[in-house]
Amino acid sequence: MKHKKLIIFAVALALLFIIGTFLSQSVFLKTVLAKYKSTDHFVLFGDDPRIRYERPAEENAIALKQILNGSQAQVESILHSRFKKPIEVYVCSSQNSFNEYVFLSKNVKGAVYWGKLFLSPGAFSQNESRLAELTTHELTHYLFYTHLGEKAHVENIPLWFREAIAVFVANGGAYYTKDRNLLNLISSEEKQAFLSGKIDFWFASNNPLDAVTKNGTANWLLYRVGALFVHFLRDSQPGKFDELIQLLLSGTKFNAALEVTYGKNTEALLREFAQYLTT
């Protein structure tokens, strides 16, 4: 009898351990913890209400201050729209701190979650132009969020376009391809990945995990090819592209906005892009 009780106790402990391990890794649990984790300890940077930082990261907050006006202006100019809510950028003092707020992407340098833009120390590890590029990328996400809210931003606009438009804006928008042929801007690796069908899944995915590599870093190949496709859409019909962006910001769902402006769906436009790359 005593032996039987010991077995039952051991099994119960094992089950508790398994359940505890599962919960600790649960995306749902991490989502809840990230959403409600307080940012009250972040310090307001001087007289700039847009910047908040953890105390050991004051130097990074200073660096952000130097480029933030330019990044904000670039986003608003290229998208022909303004932020509908105040910008809030949180400068984390460590990657671990950043990861507690950005639970899906353990090694990325910046992300927008729950209406807040977070930057990790890695965002400041390179030169000022790279910091500006990253900040502009994330502010693009943030502008869409301020117009649509968290739910509609994710549900109305496919993952690939959310990332592609952010890269497009960070590239400088139309200026990136001015007086340059798009064919000369795509690498052989990027071209092969697209034409081979290797990354077809990206244009149909709703899984945010697809946006990062196994190491938790941004999957730059997917971002880059998606952005080049967006550049193609803009360069082929600038007026329709600008109309597309305004429809999206007004709350029109992506597929409907694409039909209204280009008169085609994503698949048809991807085929046109493939044809362009093979001419």
The answer on pLDDT for 23 being more than 90 is: no
Q: Where are the domains of the chain?
A: 34-148, 157-279
**CATH number given to 34-148:** 3.30.2010
Residues 19-33 have a mean pLDDT of 53
Q: Of the candidates 27, 218, 246, 201, which has an alpha carbon nearest to the alpha carbon of residue 134?
A: 218
Mean pLDDT of all residues in the chain? 89
Residue 1, pLDDT score: 55
pLDDT of residue 215: 75
Is the pLDDT at 19 greater than 80? The verdict is: no
Q: What percent of the chain has pLDDT over 70?
A: 86
Is the pLDDT reported for residue 55 higher than 90?
yes
Quick check: 70 pLDDT over 80?
A: yes
- The string of DSSP codes covering the chain is -HHHHHHHHHHHHHHHHHHHHHHHH-HHHHHHHHHH---TTSEEETTEEEEEE-GGGHHHHHHHHHHHHHHHHHHHHHHT---SS---EEE-SSHHHHHHHSTT-TT-SEEEETTEEEE-GGGGSS-HHHHHHHHHHHHHHHHHHHHHHHHHHHHHS-HHHHHHHHHHHHHTGGGGGTTS-GGGTS-HHHHHHHHTTTTGGGGT---GGGGB-TTSSB-HHHHHHHHHHHHHHHHH-HHHHHHHHHHHHTT--HHHHHHHHHSS-HHHHHHHHHHHHT-
**Amino acid of residue 98:** F
User: Maximum Cα–Cα distance for the chain, whole Å?
Assistant: 85
Radius of gyration of the chain (CA): 22
* Residues 140, 79: Cα–Cα separation, whole Å: 9
- Under 8 Å between Cβ of 107 and 217: yes
Q: Is the pLDDT reported for residue 7 higher than 60?
A: no
pLDDT for 193 = 96
Give the pLDDT of residue 13. Answer: 59
Say whether pLDDT at 174 is over 50.
yes
| pLDDT score, position 81 | 98
Q: How confident is the model at residue 35 (pLDDT cuts 50, 70, 90)?
A: low
Mean pLDDT of 71-89: 98
pLDDT surpassing 50 at residue 6: yes
pLDDT over 70 at 3, yes or no: no
- Adjacency order of strands within the sheet including 48-53: 43-45, 48-53, 89-91, 116-119, 110-113
pTM for this model (two decimals): 0.87
Residue 124 C-beta-side C-alpha neighbours within 13 Å = 20
